[in-house]
């Protein structure tokens, strides 16, 4: 079977993952700190130190004009901008007007907020670039939903082409790709709202409307299992064999790459998803029976007996035949004009930000599992995978991480930028800054919260890696 990264070897993929991860983190850190730096300079604050990364110094340069020392350190998992501040050391009276702590509240707040906002602005730019150059995505044609799923109960059988979607039947939005379908379903599941789909079937001229009841769907995480419950995991793909493992059940039965499976034991195979599920479920009792497959080969139908083999997948018995099942999905180029692409980029950034906040809120109140949290290992893995797929996938990955970094830093948690903005709100309301003793204790609490969050995220990474 073909590797998901084409001809890239495991060693090459590891190097690509490391490189893509370092570039991603370094770029997002630079943008974040540049936001703080640019706003500080605009507000007349002197910046003493601009660092990308922590640890041993690799490179440095001091600006003769501004006196700012720019440094690149060995570990690019963060950075900081150090400004002139009377709270951190003595300040020359001649330069006191350039100290951060003496600036008006609005200037200090703007400097603090500029970092996260720079990340959100970067996400808008990256999404806009993808919209302008275009990206090939699967057509919005649905696969056969799994038995008992939401879509199966709604009457879908596979092959339906979704044309529009929305919360209200009177205000539906165009759907251009399968990713748009998943986006609407994710929103509906998170917000516990039903979705209306307008779709067309191959044998019907007039489109139909269907209400997808997601409002009462119980779930604790946004992952593959959620979409299995909904019934939409993958786009439509013909039930064709694309690759066989030598010595496995499929090759020993006489199947060949290119065979299109029409029926299994007389049951019509609508698509690859249905065939994969049938094979998987054949081993649930620990034993399998021979199946009669009707396949189309070179235009002719043939009957071939196939006996799947029982294997264990995370403690569950499943059936496998040792073949890659599914023809390449039909793709459509999604591209927008300059203005429309920028508008949609802003909307996309807003939607992802809102989705991120909703997910965090659900984790806090217990409506979603903490298993949704991901750490550096998972981020590095997705960095490598997206880079291996291509430029647009990597840009979309960068945009998503940039949104996450911006939203995370705006949370009202001490230590983060949002925590400092919370101090500014207190000062604006009370007319006095937060007492130093309070701030020290709050910083400790914030650091502990951040450390706990990171520990959970890394634990989830390790669990996924070992599981």
Residue 263 CB neighbours (<10 A): 15
Residue 418 CB neighbours (<10 A): 19
The span from the CA of 139 to the CA of 438, in Å, is 56
Residue 218 CB neighbours (<10 A): 7
List phi, psi (to 5°) of 329. -70, 150
Q: State the alpha helices, DSSP H only, in 390-466.
A: 391-410, 417-430, 436-466
The span from the CA of 152 to the CA of 408, in Å, is 37
160 is catalytic: no
List residues bridging with 303 in a β-sheet.
294
How far apart are the two ends of the chain, measured CA to CA in Å? 22
Which residues neighbour 255 within 8 Å (Cβ) at sequence distance 6 or greater? Answer: 241, 244, 293, 295, 304, 306, 321, 323
The span from the CA of 397 to the CA of 24, in Å, is 9
Check: CB of residue 239 under 8 Å from CB of residue 275.
Answer: yes
Which residues neighbour 231 within 8 Å (Cβ) at sequence distance 6 or greater? Answer: 145, 146, 149, 150, 151, 152, 156
Which residues neighbour 96 within 8 Å (Cβ) at sequence distance 6 or greater? Answer: 86, 102
The single residue of 33, 160, 198, 242 carrying the catalytic annotation is 33
Which residues neighbour 430 within 8 Å (Cβ) at sequence distance 6 or greater? Answer: none
The span from the CA of 239 to the CA of 259, in Å, is 9
* Residues labelled as active-site residues: 33
């Amino acid at each position: 079977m073909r590797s998901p990264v084409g001809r890239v070897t495991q060693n090459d993929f590891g190097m690509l993952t490391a490189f893509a991860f370092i570039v991603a983190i370094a770029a997002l850190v630079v943008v974040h700190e540049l936001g703080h730096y640019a706003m500080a300079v605009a507000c007349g604050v002197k910046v003493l130190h601009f660092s990308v990364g922590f640890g041993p110094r690799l490179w440095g340069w001091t600006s003769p004009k501004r006196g700012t020392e720019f440094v690149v350190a060995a570990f690019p998992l963060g950075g900081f901008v150090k400004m002139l501040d009377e709270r951190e050391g003595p300040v020359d009276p001649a330069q006191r007007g350039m100290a951060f702590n003496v600036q008006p509240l609005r200037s200090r707040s703007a400097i603090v907020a500029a970092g996260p906002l720079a990340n959100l602005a970067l996400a808008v730019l990256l999404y806009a670039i993808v919209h302008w150059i275009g990206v090939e995505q699967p057509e919005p044609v649905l696969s056969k939903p799994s038995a008992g799923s939401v879509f199966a109960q709604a009457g879908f059988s596979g092959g339906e082409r979704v044309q529009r979607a929305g919360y209200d039947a009177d205000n539906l939005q165009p759907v251009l790709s399968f990713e748009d379908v998943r986006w609407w379903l994710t929103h509906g599941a998170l917000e516990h709202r039903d979705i209306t789909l307008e779709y067309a079937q191959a044998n019907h001229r007039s489109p139909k409307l269907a209400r997808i009841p997601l409002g009462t769907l119980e779930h604790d995480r946004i992952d593959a299992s959620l979409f299995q419950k909904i019934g939409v995991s993958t786009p439509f793909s013909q039930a064709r064999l694309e690759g066989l493992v030598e010595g496995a059940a499929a090759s020993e039965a006489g199947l060949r790459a290119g065979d299109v499976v029409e029926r299994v034991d007389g049951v019509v195979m609508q698509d690859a998803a249905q065939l994969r599920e049938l094979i998987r479920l054949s081993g649930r009792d620990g034993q399998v029976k021979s199946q009669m497959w009707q396949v189309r080969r070179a235009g002719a139908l043939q009957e071939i007996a196939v006996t799947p083999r029982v294997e264990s997948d995370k403690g569950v018995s499943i059936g496998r035949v040792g073949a890659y099942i599914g023809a390449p999905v039909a793709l459509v180029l999604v591209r927008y004009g300059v203005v429309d692409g920028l508008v949609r980029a802003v909307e996309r950034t807003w939607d992802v930000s809102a989705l991120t906040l909703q997910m965090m809120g659900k984790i806090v109140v217990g409506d979603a599992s903490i298993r949704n949290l991901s750490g550096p290992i998972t981020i590095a893995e997705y960095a490598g995978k997206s880079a291996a797929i291509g430029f647009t996938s990597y840009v979309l990955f960068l945009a998503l991480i940039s949104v996450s970094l911006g939203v995370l830093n705006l949370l009202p948690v001490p230590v983060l930028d949002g925590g400092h903005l919370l101090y500014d709100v207190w000062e604006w309301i009370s007319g006095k800054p937060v007492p130093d003793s309070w701030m020290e204790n709050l910083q400790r609490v914030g650091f502990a919260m951040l450390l706990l969050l990171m520990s959970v995220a890394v634990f989830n990474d390790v669990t996924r890696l070992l599981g």
